[in-house]
Structure 1
Amino acid sequence: MAVKKGGKAVDVADDETPVPLQAILLADSFAQKFRPITLERPKVLLPLINIPMIDYTLEWLASAGVEEVFVFCCAHAKQITDYLGNSSWQTQPNFKVVPIESHDCVSAGEALRLIDERNVVRGDFILVSGDTVSNMSLKEVLQEHKERRKSDKLAVMTIVVKRSHASPVTHQTRLGNDELLLVIDPLTKELLHYDDGLLNNPNKARQVAVDRSLYLNKPSICLCTDLQDCYIDICSPEVLLLFTDNFDYQHLRRDFVKGILSDEISGNKIFTYELHGEYASRIDNLRSYDSVSKDIIHRWTYPIVPDIRFAGNNVGLKIERCNVYRENGVMLPRSARIGPSSVLGQGTSVDENCVISNSVIGRNCVIGRNVTIEGSYLWDNVTIHDNVTIQSAVICDGCVVRAGARVEPGTVLSFHVVIGQNFSVPSYSKISLIAQPTEEDSSDEELEYVEATSVTTESPQKLLEGEQQLTDITGSSPQMERNPPTVAWKESEVGPSGAGFKWFMRDESQEEEWRYSVAPIPAEKIEEMRLREEQAGVDDFDQDAGAVAEEEEEELDSVKKKRDFEREAEETFRRLFLDGVPEANVILEVKALRLGFNVEGSDCAAACFKSIINLALEEPFTKDSELFIIAKRLFSKWKAILRNYLTTEDDQVEVLLKFEEICSEPAGKAFAPIFCPVLRVLYDQELIFEDAILSWASEKQDAEEGDKIFLRQCEAFIKWLEEASEEDDDDDDDDDA
């Protein structure tokens, strides 16, 4: 085991002081997918079935045997540290939660470099984000990682993956993640290639080029597009050192993983561990937020489910038929209908004739008469007036939706937004009390809410119902000025007496908004994608067919060209052998032929060799021994001209392959029984050298049995060459000594 001491990695014996199992939990996701919500509250504190996301991750780590967790937080660090400081995690036995704050990290790479500077990690550790929900046991993957490390110190990381088929239409998983291509060695589980989102990028071809070096020395490789990255990593301490040594490593996958896989010099390796029957998912976007919420409600995450207590969240909760959960203090009339897969938070009141299904309602919400809520998420202290319809939306704390309003699928209402009476919020709208930053003020795509770090919302803004006024304004950001209390909201965006700014999606992201929403993918989008996929398939087929036809045509041209060259070259050599044409003239003619047909030097060697073989076959013989004597004589006579074309090892190997080809054809099968004796003649005449023969033999080792006929015939000769080579090496060593 390696630990850091004085900035360097040192080995510590396993029998020394035991090191507690540690984890690094990244409370920042360094992305923007939950905006505008995360401008006011960090994602890890957003409610997931009425419990902050980070509690799911901590609950799992505690149950899996982790003893010490370092929670790295940057944006909204005070909110996170205050929450952890006031939670029961601080008093949990055998489980220590240590916040690490930074106010200038803008990537996961910078976070890990800072942790490395703190010198707090003392052994192998778990690397996970604070938006991870899992019930997996860490025992097996840790054991596998440690056993691998004993035999291979370059095995620096094991990443957890699971089967998760992508849609054949959208090429996305149910979590909203793009289809992932992994290349894995099935024998060792080593990760050889990692490509996220390539197959879903319309600007790239659907064909994927796999580097030939990945499979050259491996019996087999697996190309997987049905695996999901769980973003749970078992890391050696060297991972932190690698981030410190490589300042261009920012993103965990795009930079670090791909950097390790492409770095042939260091030799570091990453391996995979596939989950079977256990649950692990990361909430990366609103679609995965919806999917994971449903998985929790349907109890796929057991024992981490709503009716089993989390530390510090002990409110009474009952589970009823069809996965309906109710906390204590819910007021529910007989006329209200609560459909399957729904959760009602403590202190919430529901009025007459309401219909709620597949939805999570937070705590202390007020829902009026004749309200329909389907597939939506209402957080705490939300007020819904009479005759409102809400479909597949996310409505944050303190929002008010006035009577008769309609919230269309995919809508996100950030904290304390007010929707006016009878106003219809268009699909995929995002509305916030914080104005959308200008493009110039917008941060890099890697940042989730770093520019809002100076905005504190310990006491959230409260909207005086019926008045266009904000009170209790607690802070501001240089990039995003909060609005004065008398701001006039646009009625076209939030309706009469509404409050909020509508965020407009950039042109390049507006079309893709449906991919990452809690709303089901619209039928017209599915049909559009299906037609596009069909067309892409036709185009790919046409391109492939054209490419195959072109390739076949080129191959036929190449074969024809070689055959024509061989015929012309053989005829030229025959004039030398039989008609006495001067050798210099023949060499010039063959050189001109080579240039004219654009062939390799090895083709000249093969043509000359075949000419001599054909010459031998034309002489009368009745026995193998007679043919051997003829061939030996001819090779001795014409060795000077043949040697002229056997200048490299490749040329010599090509001649041996040509000899095999001749012996396998009907016209030259008479040479098959004397292949090895002729090879010895070529060796004795110094036409074919030892290295070429051994290279040829090495190439044939992995061939099919039917292609090893002549190799087996030469086994004794090859063994003699190998032993002679070893003796020469020993003599050289003695001379050096």
Structure 2
Amino acid sequence: MAPSRKAPLGVAPGEEALIAVLLADSFNQRFRPITLERPKVLLPLAGVPLLDYTLEWLASNGVAEVYVFCCAHAEQVKEHLKAAGWLQERSSITVKVIVSTTCKSAGEALREIDVKDMIKSDFVLVSGDVVSNMDLGSALRMHRARREKNKNALMTMVMKAGTTPAQRRRLGDQSLIVAMDPQTKRLLRYEEVEAGRPLPNQATVDAHFWSETDSVEVRADLADTYIYICAPEVLLLFSDNFDYQNVRKDFVSGVLSEEELGQQLYVHELHRDYAASVLNFRSYDAISSDVLQRWTFPFVPDTNLLPLGGAWGPSSYRLWRNFIYKEQHLKLGREARIGHSSCIGMGTTIEDGAQVAGSIIGRNCLIGKDAIVLGSYLLEGVRIHAGAQVSHSLLCDGVVVKEDATVCSGSVLSFKVVVGQEQVIEQHTSLSLCRQLQQSTSLSDDELEYAAAGTASPPSEAALGSSAEASRPRLPGALEDAAAAPSDGEDGAHYDASLVGPDGAGYRWQPHEAEPAASSAVAAYFSIAPPPPGLPPPPDDFSDDDSTVTAAEEAQDAVVDPEASFKREVSETFLRCVRDGFEKKFLETELNSLKIAEHKDFADCARYILTTLLALCLPAPPRAKAEYRSLFPESAPETATPAGKTELLRRLQRLLNTWTDLLKQFLRSEDDQVDLLLTLEEFCGEEGVFEGTGEQCGLFSAVFAKVLQLLYDAEVVSEDAFLKWADEKAHAEAEDRVFLDKAAEFLKWLREAETEEENSDEEDEEE
């Protein structure tokens, strides 16, 4: 299916045609050893190369012309652009490729573009690893309006507002201290805080700013999206300042430190739209999860908007329950288990007894009998043989994990690596068929590619051995060859049998001291927390750090108890939005999307919104994820005492004050309200999906009638719905009338109030 560009999101008719400069090289080594053989922008995210996300977003915003600047692996980028149809003549967008293998930084790339004298007007500067559904129109119009009044307004930096420290840690990005004029959004100060360090308690603002503005706003909740709207003078500044190598660290800091020149930078805040850049393995994992959870809509797998190119043809994903995406032509064993938040590509086979959860599986992969893949990323043509286990790792094209082998968490296996039978790859291990060189610390990925063969120019296939073929896009027919172990290079070196086994293939790739720890370590990057050190436990006891919720359990729940799985999805969606500070309307949209994906009713969402609110009055349940535990109180009230009951009800009252409107949005009828009361019974009685969860639901049994009163006072449940629920329960068995009996006084009060109201109405009519 060809991408649709009939209605650009951001540019209104009659506006000046927009140009973009896309940097297809990240100019860092955070994805080594993968980037020795393939550029990062061609690394698939949810089955689609990163570059296509960025290009499709630019096209959807009405960008007329894109200059794609390539350095390392330029030929691969050009081949992909051609295969995906970007280089064809299109009515809405023109893509042109600029190649320069000598550039080692973004600054050098922009100087090269300035020398070519191609940019004459404002342009969008973006890296090729940005995933966004942002509407550029507002930011662009504000930038152009400022430029008309002030030619020194050089750049508008797009920043995501409302980011929390937890969100920044999730993306592995640095925190920012930003000072700006709250009225004009002019940037006054920009300071990066090293990843992992706490934000300072105070910030210093130069006194001279107060002569230019009445107030200064200091922010620590902004995250750079790596999307910049630039005046053409930006290129000239890079040419005039050869020490500008990095946009954020050098250019932005340089402009702000030279206030006397009058040049100004501005900030455009994003509140609703999504924008993030794949900076490292942590953000790769986080953004992949966001795509599957549909934060990036319409750029999600099942819209099939993004071009894949190559011999496989267009994508054919469909969305199933529990955020599971499947392409056509899969072979799934009847006893295979697919857990939530998983994406399975075309031509993949998952045999009986295999378990997959929280993972993205590329095309033409094999997951053998009783194999387990948890929280991992398998690219194209990966073979996981019978009994093998892969946990929270990234496996590139053609990787083979043989029978009963184990790949522990935080591992990166580059192209065509083979793990031998019963071999164990320890945590945080990176493997590649390219041998690591001592001098590689200071070399770019392009230079490393050539140095791996010991040559000063691009090596021949014979010099690189099998890794040369692995670096090229492969046709489907060639994927079968991935199952065979690659041969040693011509230099006579042998793979480390103690590491990959006698029937394996690969060299260990050690992180260098020159690389930041946050870039070289992989284990901490995966949002599904890795298992403890050593071998993963047996399939029925996979642990998930201190949260104790396991991907294997989730996979089992998704198959055995869909209702429990949906309850968890609603609860975690609610908790995630609360933790990240999203507005209620966005939470409503997210829950609506979940309802549609799961083929549920509005009442189904309301039932588990209420039970989540009740659970938030109590300590975190044993299976709560670590990232949500801070939302729960540390201790439970003692409901055996009047004071404890009062405290429990006070906690619930505070939550209802905030979330009553949301509950009402999902309660569309009297029958929905009755269903809500039936679920409340199950919660307080620890029955149904609440049985055996370890939650202290039963504490609400002591205040059941008071909970009904709170729901009545908040107008969540109507008088008629309460009476209808009571009438339905009146003839039930004694054990099913436990909570009806607890509510007897409340129901008596309701009926008496109803009788008094009817009598009053009759008297009014008589008068």
TM (norm. structure 1) is: 0.63
Counterpart-to-counterpart distance in 2, 1:458 and 1:120: 35
Q: Deviations over 1:345-373 (max 9, x none)?
A: 11001111111111000001111011111
1:40 to 1:465, Cα distance in 2 relative to 1, 3 A: closer
Structure 1 residue 30: Cα displacement: 0.3
Q: 2:487 aligns with which of 459, 470, 473?
A: 470
Query: Quick one: structure 1 residues 458 and 61, their matched pair in 2 at CA, closer, same or farther if it must change by over 3 Å?
Result: farther
Instruction: Write the distance in 2 (CA, Å) between the matches of 1:210 and 1:523.
Output: 45
What letter matches 2:219 in structure 1?
A: C
Question: What is the deviation of 1:265?
Answer: 2.7
1:516-535 aligned at under 5 Å gives the runs 517-518=525-526, 520=528
User: Per-residue deviation at 1:173?
Assistant: 3.0
* CA shift digits 1:264-306 (9 cap, x unpaired): 2321111000012111111010111111111111111111111
Cα distance in 1, alignment partners of residues 47 and 459 from structure 2: 24
Contact 1:469-1:486 within 8 A present in 2 as well:
no
Q: Are the counterparts in 1 of residues 375 and 528 from structure 2 also a CA contact under 8 Å?
A: no
The amino acid of 2:470's aligned partner reads: P
Partner of 1:489: 495
Give the corresponding residue for 1:286: 281
- Contact kept, 8 Å, 2:440 with 2:448, in 1: the verdict is no
* Residue 64 (structure 1) aligns with: 61
The separation in 1 between residues aligned to 2:524 and 2:230, in whole angstroms, is 30
**What is the count of residue pairs matched by the alignment?**
495
- What is the match of residue 379 of structure 1? 379
Quote how far apart the aligned CAs of 1:422 are. 1.4
Match of 2:22 in 1: 25
Look up the match of 1:78: 75
CA contact (8 A) 1:359 1:375 kept: yes
Question: For residues 258 and 366 of structure 1, do their structure 2 counterparts lie closer, same or farther at Cα, with a shift above 3 Å needed?
Answer: same
**Structure 1 residues 301 and 27 mapped into 2: Cα distance closer, same or farther (>3 Å)?**
same
Contact preservation (8 Å) 1:412, 1:429: yes
Q: Is the 8 A contact 2:401 2:418 kept in 1?
A: yes
**What is aligned with 1:44?**
41
Equivalent residue, structure 2, for 1:117? 115
Write the deviation string for residues 117-147 of structure 1: whole angstroms up to 9, x where unpaired. 1121121100000001111111111100001
Aligned residues of 2:400 and 2:419 also touching (Cα < 8 A): yes
Instruction: Sort the Cα spacing of 1:464 and 1:486 in 2 relative to 1 into closer, same or farther, 3 A.
Output: farther
Aligned 8 A contact 1:285 1:516 in 2: no
Aligned to 1:579: none
Q: Which residue of 2 aligns with 1:89?
A: 86
Q: Deviations over 1:393-414 (max 9, x none)?
A: 0000000001111111110000
Distance 1:131 1:455 in 2: 27
Distance 1:326 1:199, change over 3 A: closer
Q: Which residue of 170, 175, 178 corresponds with 2:171? A: 175
CA root-mean-square deviation: 2.8
Measure how far apart 1:179 and its partner are. 1.6
Matched, 1:196 2:204: no
The one-letter code of the counterpart of 1:412 is V
Letter in 2 for 1:224: R
Deviation at 1:508, TM superposition (A): 7.0
CA distance in 1, matches of 2:263, 2:117: 22
Which residue is equivalent to 1:443?
442
Conserved? CA contact 2:383–2:483, under 8 Å = no
2:213 to 205, 218, 232: 218
Task: Write the distance in 1 (CA, Å) between the matches of 2:113 and 2:52.
Answer: 22
Quote the Cα distance in structure 2 between the aligned partners of 1:523 and 1:337: 20
**Corresponding residue for 2:235?**
240
| Alignment partners' CA distance in 2, 1:34 and 1:516 | 15
- For residue 505 of structure 1, the aligned residue among 511, 532, 540 is 511
Q: How far is 1:317 from its partner?
A: 1.8
State TM-score, norm by structure 2.
0.61
Deviations 1:539-574 (A, max 9, x none): xxxxxxxxxxxxxxxxxxxxxxxxxxxxxxxxxxxx
Please list, as runs of the form range in 1=range in 2, the aligned pairs for 1:552-567 lying within 5 A after superposition. Answer: none
Letter in 2 for 1:326: K
* CA shift for structure 1 position 493: 1.7
SS of 2:259 mapped into structure 1:
coil
> Residues 63 and 511 of structure 1: is their aligned pair in 2 closer, same or farther, counting only changes over 3 Å?
closer
Amino acid at match of 1:518: F
C-alpha separation in 2, matches of 1:468 and 1:341? 31
Q: CA 1:117–1:434 in 2, change beyond 3 Å: closer, same or farther?
A: same
**CA shift for structure 1 position 515:** 7.3
SS in 2 for 1:70: strand
Distance 2:32 2:507 in 1: 13
Q: Relative to 1, partners in 2 of residues 1:520 and 1:178: Cα closer, same or farther, differing over 3 Å?
A: farther
Q: Is the 8 A contact 1:345 1:364 kept in 2?
A: yes
The alpha carbon displacement at 1:519 in A equals 5.7
Which residue identity lines up with residue 433 of structure 1 in the other structure?
L
User: Which whole-Å CA distance do the structure 2 matches of 1:199 and 1:215 have between them?
Assistant: 31
Q: Could you tell me which residue of structure 2 aligns to residue 563 of structure 1? A: none
Shift of 1:152: 1.2
Instruction: Say which SS state the counterpart of residue 41 (structure 1) adopts.
Output: coil
Offset, 1:19: 5.0
Q: How far 1:464 sits from its partner (Å)?
A: 7.2
**CA–CA distance in 2 between the matches of 1:379 and 1:164?**
33
CA distance in 2, matches of 1:358, 1:518: 11
* Equivalent residue letter for 1:502: R
Structure 2, unmatched stretches of 5+, are 1-13, 451-457, 461-466, 472-477, 534-544, 547-625, 627-767
Looking at structure 2, the residues matched to 129 and 363 of structure 1 have their Cα atoms a distance apart, in angstroms, of: 26
Structure 2 Cα separation of the partners of residues 459 and 44 of structure 1:
19
Shift of the 87–116 alpha-carbon distance from structure 1 to 2, 3 Å rule, reads: same
Q: Contact conserved, 2:391 with 2:530, CA < 8 A, in 1?
A: no
- Structure-2 separation of matches of 1:166 and 1:226: 6
Query: Identity of counterpart residues, as a percentage?
Result: 42
Match of 2:301 in 1: 306
1:298–1:341 Cα contact (<8 Å) kept = yes
Answering whether residue 364 of structure 2 is matched by residue 364 of structure 1, we say yes
Structure 2 match to 1:165: 163
Structure-2 change in CA distance of 1:298 and 1:147 (3 Å)? same
Name the aligned partner's letter for residue 172 of structure 2: G
Matches within 5 A, 1:6-25: 20-25=17-22
8 Å contact from structure 1 (residues 40, 455) kept in 2: no
For 1:400, the equivalent position in structure 2 comes to 400
Distance 2:427 2:237 in 1: 45
Among 241, 248, 253, the alignment partner of 1:253 is 248
Amino acid in the other structure paired with 2:487: L
Give the partner amino acid of 2:191.
Answer: D
Matched, 1:426 2:434: no
Radius of gyration: which is bigger? 1
State the match for 2:329 in structure 1. 329
Q: CA deviation at 1:56?
A: 0.5
Structure 1 contact 468–487 (Cα < 8 Å) conserved: no
Asked if 1 retains the 8 angstrom alpha-carbon contact of 2:281 and 2:522, the reply is no
Equivalents in 2 of 1:198, 1:433: separation in Å? 33
1:151 alignment counterpart = 149
Check 1:379–1:521 CA distance in 2 against 1; reply closer, same or farther (3 A cut): same
Give the aligned partner of residue 100 of structure 2: 102
Residues 648-671 of structure 1: per-residue CA shift (max 9 Å, x gap): xxxxxxxxxxxxxxxxxxxxxxxx
Distance 1:179 1:335 in 2: 46
Tell me the amino acid that sits aligned with residue 131 of structure 1.
Answer: D
Corresponding residue of 2:708: none
**How far apart are the structure 2 equivalents of 1:173 and 1:436?**
30
